[in-house]
Every structure is written in C-alpha cells, then in structure tokens.
Amino acid sequence: MTKRSKWTAAALAVLVCLTGGALQAQPLKDENLLVGVPQGFKLGFNDSKNGMNMQEFIPAGETVQNWTEMVTVQVFLSRTDLQPAPFLGAMQQQWAGACKGSTATPLATGKVNGYDAASILLRCPLLASTGKPETTMLTAIKGNDSFYVVQRAVRSVPTPERLETMKKYIESVSVCDSRLPSRPCPTVN
C-alpha cells in the first residue's frame, strides 16, 4: 500500500466518524485509525509533510490560534519503529520543559483492538506561551502499517465531568485492519 492510500484510509475513517456515517456506505480497507470528531467541532488545520499527517479540530467559532478545546490527530506513516510508551514519555518530558509545575498521571499501557497502546494525562497550571492553564490527554497506538497519536486538550482547569468526557473520547480511539480477522473494521452503513 502506498503512503497516499494509507492516509486516504485514515482520513476516510475520520470523515466517516465526522459525518456520522452519512456518506454512501463504503467498506474500510486495510489499516485505519478510528477516531470521531466531537459534536460542534470543525477542521481547523490539516497538513501532511515528512511522512506525518496532522489534523486539528476545534469548536466552531474558534481558531487554531485561539481555542478552548482541541483534538489533534497525527498519523506517522510507515513508522513501525515507534513505540507508544517511549513516545508518550518523550512528550511528557517536552511538556515538563515547556511548563513549570506540570504534572502527569502514570503512563498507562495496554492493547487497543490487539495493538500496543499507551495513554497519559498531562496538566500545566500556566503555559507560558499562552498565559493559560492547559490539560491534555493523549493516546498512542502502534499499528502494523503506521503509528497513531490522538490528543484532546483544553485550555482550562477542567472539571471532573470534562475530564471524564476527555477520557471517554480517548478510550474510544482505535485502529482496525480489514486484512486481519482478529482486528476487524466496523461496518459503515
């Protein structure tokens, strides 16, 4: 499979979740990142370079420069050398360097639909670059074809209810592969 077709498959999975399956039914092919776009969010940024595709989704009416909540989706094409726990550990170190007094939950590792995965919650009491608090929850999944990272962030000190919403969202992220019966893709109606 070419890099372009892998990105198309991942984008299709995002698009299907975005439209709630309102597209004409098409089966997902090969390996796909399954991630939904929260209700009321819009695509704010989309770029592809150096083998990494990234999309940022923000609430309607906000910009990628001035947002209250953001979902970031990254697909590292053909990067089967990356591992979820070390990748998120490095992100935690970068976060700590960018934010004095930051905290992190212990890194959680496990499987998502049979794929190695890890997740973490990072908190910053006051991010110097924005002058606001920021909390982010991330998950990383090592696919057979690519490496996937999904992040949901808020520029606030989230309430317990908002943290629960973030957690449920991150837990809903998955990867499937139509070529592997043990990692089936959902049927899109």
- The reported pTM is 0.86
Query: What are the strands, taking DSSP E only, across the chain?
Result: 31-34, 41-49, 52-59, 69-77, 103-104, 108-112, 115-127, 132-142, 146-154, 174-177
Question: What's the rounded Cα separation, in Å, for the pair 130 and 102?
Answer: 15
H-type alpha helices, 61-125: 84-98
CATH assignment of 44-172, among 3.30.565.10, 3.40.350.10, 3.40.1000.10, 3.30.70.360: 3.40.1000.10
Domain ranges of the chain: 44-172
Residues across the chain? 189
Each residue's pLDDT, cut to its tens digit, for the chain (189 residues) gives 333 334 444 444 444 344 343 444 567 889 999 999 999 999 999 999 999 999 999 999 999 999 999 999 999 999 999 999 999 999 999 999 989 999 999 999 999 999 999 999 999 999 888 889 999 999 999 999 999 999 999 999 999 999 999 999 999 999 999 999 999 888 766
